[in-house]
Amino acid sequence: MNIQIIKFLTCLMVFFGAIKVQALEPKSNLSVNLERVRFCQNFWCTRQDTQTEYLAWEQEGVSNTYQLYTQIARVRQPAREDVRNLVFIAAGQQPPGYGSESAVTGQEDNYKRNCGISEKSCPRNIDGRSLARQILDSEHFPADDTFFAVAFDAQFNYLVSSGEKFRIESAYLNWLKSKAYASNLESIYLAGSSRGGCLAMRLAKALRNDPEFRNIRTIVHSFDGVCKWDQNEMGVTSSFFRNPENSKYLSYYTDLNAQFPYKDNLYIRQLAGGDEVIEFTGVHSFVYAAEDVNLGWYAQSWVNLDHITIDRDMYPAVRDQTVVPFLQHLEEIF
């Protein structure tokens, strides 16, 4: 009898283990409509207009140039009164050219090609191996009650002035708040890589400082997030910790304990590599701790991967160190 029970329990463990592994496996690509916040109305771009959906950028005084190059996909948008979950995921700063792929948002390489500033929107794909595509299929964020948006190009760039960054942050913040009633919300999920990781952290901090949103379950996932230390962005300082997996890499220190005084229902996970983003610039990611930690409200792990690999690579060996641990973190929370 005892042997039969043991066999039965073993079968159950294998069965549920298989389901869990399957949940982390890549999905099919998803077609989305990539929208431009502001667009040109004629060839010379002497006439421009901000789309009605994104008037928050105009209202917050974000410069026309940053509006023109901001590209966002609203993947799901239930009626405001039905929204129980807010999801926003941002790619890292885009290099010159036609845009780069992202393992976090799932945008493909060259997504800007044939989608110029006179185009209000363009059909694009989200890669099935990406974090965003996995989250879309998650049982924790049902389609009928989750507002889900992905910024392919957030224009939250490293060299932008502090004032302009605040205006851009405020635009995203007010836009996201307009998608749900705080009293109805059950979860907020914010994620980003590189500069997108900094934006996700800043949005989380702003939401936690708002009494209406303070106690809502808030999950923040940062992939080698980069904030500018000489602007004291997110409290980042010039002090640093070296990556214990690779001493050539380093990340700047910030006291996230002070940045997030309200920790109830807060779950931050930070993946740190610390590779120099661009050679000889001194641009690196930020961290709170010198080693891997799990404090409940904050978890951090170091990896021996360069910045671009963390940001863009979706090969299985890399994905198992980047995307998959974040999906597992979600499972632990829910």
pLDDT at 106 over 90: yes
Name the pLDDT band for 25 (thresholds 50, 70, 90). Answer: confident
Mean pLDDT across the stretch 142-148? 98
Backbone angles phi, psi at 267, to 5 degrees: -140, 100
Mean per-residue pLDDT, 40-65: 98
pLDDT of residue 111: 98
The arithmetic mean of pLDDT across residues 30-37, rounded, is 99
Burial string for 86-95 (b: 16+ CB within 10 Å, else e) reads bbbbbbbbbe
- If pLDDT is split at 50, 70 and 90, which confidence band does 307 have? very high
* Domain assignment present for 58: yes
Q: How confident is the model at residue 16 (pLDDT cuts 50, 70, 90)?
A: very low
Q: With respect to residue 11, please indicate whether it lies within any of the assigned structural domains.
A: no
For 262-292, write each residue's pLDDT tens digit: 999 999 999 999 999 999 999 999 999 999 9
- pLDDT > 70: what percent of the chain? 93
Query: With b meaning 16 or more CB within 10 Å and e meaning fewer, what string describes 135-159?
Result: bbebebbeeebbbbbbbbbbbbbbe
Evaluate whether residue 7 is within a structural domain.
no
Residue 287: which domain range? 24-333
- The answer to whether residue 281 sits within a structural domain is yes
Asked if residue 201 belongs to a domain, the reply is yes
Q: Is 3 among the domain residues?
A: no
Domain count, the chain: 1
In a domain, 16, yes or no: no
* Res 1 pLDDT > 70: no
CATH number at residue 156: 3.40.50
In a domain, 8, yes or no: no
Residues 208-256: tens digit of each pLDDT: 999 999 999 999 999 999 999 999 999 999 999 999 999 999 999 999 9
Q: Which token pair is 17? A: 């283990």
